[in-house]
Amino acid sequence: MLKFSLKPGRRERHLMRKHNNPLFPESERAISPQALTEAQRLDHEEIVEFIPGFRKLIQQAVALQPNEQSEVILKLKEDFDKSYEQACGLADDQSETKTAIIKLLAVIMKSVEGGAKNDPVALDELEQERIARDTHFALLEQPLVADLLYPEKLIGDNELVATLFSVSDEEFGAAISLFDQSQLEMLCSEADQMIDAWRGTGVDLATAEKRLIDLNTLLKAYTGETG
């Protein structure tokens, strides 16, 4: 019997999506104990590798001088953004890490805003950046978003439709916002073909068919089509 984690990492999480899931090929549905153990090992290894880099970022933030060069501050801000993105996909409870990053980013942004206090255009750009970051961080609370944005591709192109049709409504809605027009066109085409292939196999297609409609609706919004 497989023993999945309560708070899995991204590799184990994808195995859980495929486990006994009829939307995936039969060869992918049966998860062996060895495959699960290896996924858990790699997820733990990612945490171990993440911690030293994160501590280094904290040290750099603490060491910032009042007159620090803007390039240094902006690079640190970018690194914290990337760390938050990675932390959202890690195993175990990363809430303290994410909270710490948000607080440190607030301090950094305050420093940046202080340097731009006499420039209304720059301040407006910083406010737009803050809004964009808040939106991005909210999307990252959905595990599939964090997994899709991970630099190492863990979800194959041939698994994407089945994955999108298997996750929660919240994950699906957040994930499809990541795709551009060409990606949506490809997804709609593949999803249509896969649904046709699933017909008559006994698979419940209600969710898949609804989500294909959602994908087509989003695609029409990109292309300006109506109806």
pLDDT at 68 over 70: yes
pLDDT at 226 over 70: no
> What are the CA-CA distances from residue 111 to residues 69, 74, 77 (Å)?
11, 10, 11
Asked whether the beta carbons of 25 and 197 are under 8 A apart, the reply is: no
Neighbours of 163 (CB within 10 A): 22
> Each residue of 168-194: pLDDT tens digit?
999 999 999 999 999 999 999 999 999
- At 168, is the secondary structure helix, strand, or coil? coil
- At 226, is the secondary structure helix, strand, or coil? coil
Q: How many CA atoms lie within 13 A of 159 on its CB side?
A: 19
Lowest mean pLDDT of 7-11, 166-170, 171-175, 220-224, name the range.
Answer: 220-224
Q: What percent of the chain has pLDDT over 90?
A: 84
Asked whether the beta carbons of 146 and 89 are under 8 A apart, the reply is: yes
CA neighbor of 179 nearest in space, from 145, 156, 224, 211:
145
| Contacts (Cβ under 8 Å, ≥6 apart) of 41 | none
Q: What percent of the chain has pLDDT over 70?
A: 99
Q: State both tokens at 27.
A: 């060869």
pLDDT at 227 over 60: no
> Each residue of 128-165: pLDDT tens digit?
999 999 999 999 999 999 999 999 999 999 999 999 99
Rounded to a whole number of angstroms, the CA Rg of the chain reads: 21
> Each residue of 22-66: pLDDT tens digit?
999 999 999 999 999 999 999 999 999 999 999 999 999 999 888
Asked whether the beta carbons of 146 and 88 are under 8 A apart, the reply is: yes
Q: What is the pLDDT of residue 96?
A: 97
Neighbours of 198 (CB within 10 A): 18
